[in-house]
Structure 1
């Protein structure tokens, strides 16, 4: 029996309170009908004995304590799912906003996902080629991994996200089964238009499902956006055996919406005002990446977050680093020198990289080359620090060689144009060409066999 509850007990910002209700559950959807016939969707965000707190999607403007009738639907929020979602643009709550009409759903699914038994997970292997040398060689993105990008306000992370969407691909034999789900949270109109325009211009939109939450949209929609995006990704991956790359930007906007939502409920704040459950909430999003036994598909995540004041110890990047399997850190000083993408190599890593590269995946020398590039670039930092104290003229020949290597590495390897798409072979060959500018005796992370095969002083001039 469906009951309608007339009137409200309390209105507080985007929240409304109903007393004397029973038989409802957390996350249940409700419809609020006003006297003039307009309807608004709401979601139960708190339940206690005979009282329920609901968050209204469209806001509470125009509501009074007496002009509403609330009907609970007995189910959580569900997303209409279909393979037609590729090439379409949706709001953060999963409603089409591209003017092409509704999709014909093959099924509906709870946006919160289903708990995944850890035993049913398969270990992520094989890589996704982004065409970006610094990522593919040094912090390789593995299929089924969650690898965030730590950026800062004003850096080129949006440009990098577009380039990854345009260039990302998997092994050629499965390339036709690869697609991207793109979720943008709290973005301004110009940023949303930039994403749309770029995807349309490059023809990438046909293999992309976009979920866009604007900065002036309700915060409840911002909290739903990553969940709708991941529900779409799980459907395509695990029911249609596709390999899905999910890009979520900006997770800091999501966390700030969660903080505002928590504050409106009167919850006790934690670090920097964020709710104490921020870790588990972020985990409920990030842990939806992976590969499931019995399915040929996979869900890979690249969450992008902007660090306030470039502070990597801020709660959002800090907790994200605990949950995910590495990070790609962007560097402001590199960006100011004109390097794109401004990836800071030394603090970046991919923890699953070692099991998805090498012979049979990329190339047999990949791991050794990556280790040697990391080691050499670390010595560049030491040589630059020493040069700032005693002057570059007083450095040893070896230190001068590292200074030259550092300049070449940043100008030719890290730096690459927005339209440059390098194969993994081109990237690895470029790395060997740069290492060949160093004395062979300095390359102690590479075995003799590969050193003889790939090292050549002549490569330095041609790379």
Structure 2
């Protein structure tokens, strides 16, 4: 990297955790890219977090361990951090700073783009439309992911959210149109990073994947850069390259904790649960980089995965994420206890844009009706199960027993699938029909009569109760 025109300073005033304070600076701006030069000749990289008079606070991406303030030089580039963008990222495995982990050369591109991204004029946005099919019945059937949508996964520690993130990244498609996946892992253990590399090996070899892995022992500052780098790469592939790009970000709780650690090092006044007061706007600056642009073929869809500390959905990270995004996929310990994978709680999950990506001319004509009826039946089944706990099974009506049968069939036949199993949407919807047809016809009031007539005698019509 050429450093011509860079300005060097040697007056390092203080080292504070991952931060470095330089005095005597002039003309330095916020978010400026920095090179930190050690006396040994080694170099580290940083970004300006704050400028106050002649003082600049720099976050060092590799950390400040081993730095000697008296012999350290800091060079300011005069512009924000830029990275090369283009199809050269496809098929590559890199760390959270974009440095290769696969033994290949550094990633190059025809042009550079700032990792902070370019603001997108709201008037140029097209509303999300058309589905991204994940091959997972619980998502495709009931909470369909739409191109250009931001749909988070809310999980708990110990539940298989990483397995689901890897499965979606490995098998998602856009109906035969050019499609790519950018997977950004933050705060992963080395075992989890190895698992993700194995799961996504085939897609990476096909040149359809960009894999960025930040492990738990990497510098905490790198964790803040990783999702921004992933979205910068995705924006170019989608908006300039005409691809439909799915960005999987896991775990956003690790990202938020890194943000909290840096905020504490800066001495900022904490807000809720010690997170910085700007956590909402910071998360929004990431999530809002997805979408579709008028006149362009591609799209960027974001699937953030986060864990809820203590299972608390009102925790700042899931709470603020829910305000910004368009629905949520919620994991349930009860579903996990029933040995269902993925353990998605359908009644707590929602895709607010599902009607823009499912139904006639998009998926299947009966998709929305079937999903609505199945959710209504599951809600009634939950009420019946609670009633059975109070009065006993013997006091239930025959119809109530059918609802309990439907609930068991839903878990066993519809939700549960192997982590390496890809289900076609037609298979998913036929499974939904087989579950629903365990109810008497009078209970299926949300389904048109002609659809019921067709499925009573079709492959899904195994039994008609009463």
Q: Is the 8 A contact 1:29 1:43 kept in 2?
A: yes
Q: Please show how residues 98-113 of structure 1 align to structure 2 within 5 Å.
A: 98-113=102-117
1:72 partnered with 2:72:
no
Return the TM-score normalized by structure 1.
0.96
Give the alignment partner of residue 155 of structure 1, picking from 138, 155, 159: 159
Report what 2:436 is aligned to: 435
Unmatched tracts of structure 2, length 5 or more: none
Instruction: Describe the SS at the equivalent of 1:116.
Output: coil
CA contact under 8 A between 1:436 and 1:457: conserved in structure 2? Answer: no
What is aligned with 2:43? 39
Aligned positions of 1:297-446 closer than 5 A: 297-446=298-447
CA RMSD of aligned residues (A): 1.6
Give deviations 1:236-295, integer Å, cap 9, x for gaps: 111110110000000000000000010000001111110000000000000011001121
- The CA distance in 1 between the partners of 2:436 and 2:360, in whole Å, is 21
| Counterpart-to-counterpart distance in 1, 2:328 and 2:188 | 22
Q: Structure 2: how far apart are the matches of 1:197 and 1:347?
A: 31
Q: Which residue of 2 aligns with 1:8?
A: 12
Deviation at 1:203, TM superposition (A): 6.3
Do the aligned residues in 1 keep the contact of 2:13 with 2:23 (CA within 8 Å)?
A: yes
**CA shift in 2, pair 1:373/1:387, >3 Å:** same
Tell me if structure 2 keeps the 8 A contact 1:130–1:164: yes
User: Deviations along 1:174-194, whole A, 9 cap, x unmatched?
Assistant: 1xx101000000101000000
CA distance in 2, matches of 1:331, 1:445: 26
Contact kept? 1:383, 1:402, Cα under 8 Å: yes
The farther-off stretch of 377-386 and 150-159 is: 150-159
Tell me what 1:266 maps to: 267
**Which deviates the most, 187-196 or 24-33?**
24-33
Q: CA deviation at 1:202?
A: 6.7
d(CA) in 1 for partners of 2:25, 2:165: 46
2:259, 2:39 → 1: CA distance? 31
| CA shift for structure 1 position 126 | 0.5
Whether the aligned pair in 2 keeps the contact of 1:184 and 1:211 (CA below 8 Å) is: yes
Measure the CA separation in 2 of the matches of 1:451 and 1:374.
Answer: 17
Are the aligned partners of 2:203 and 2:209 in contact in 1 as well (CA < 8 Å)? no
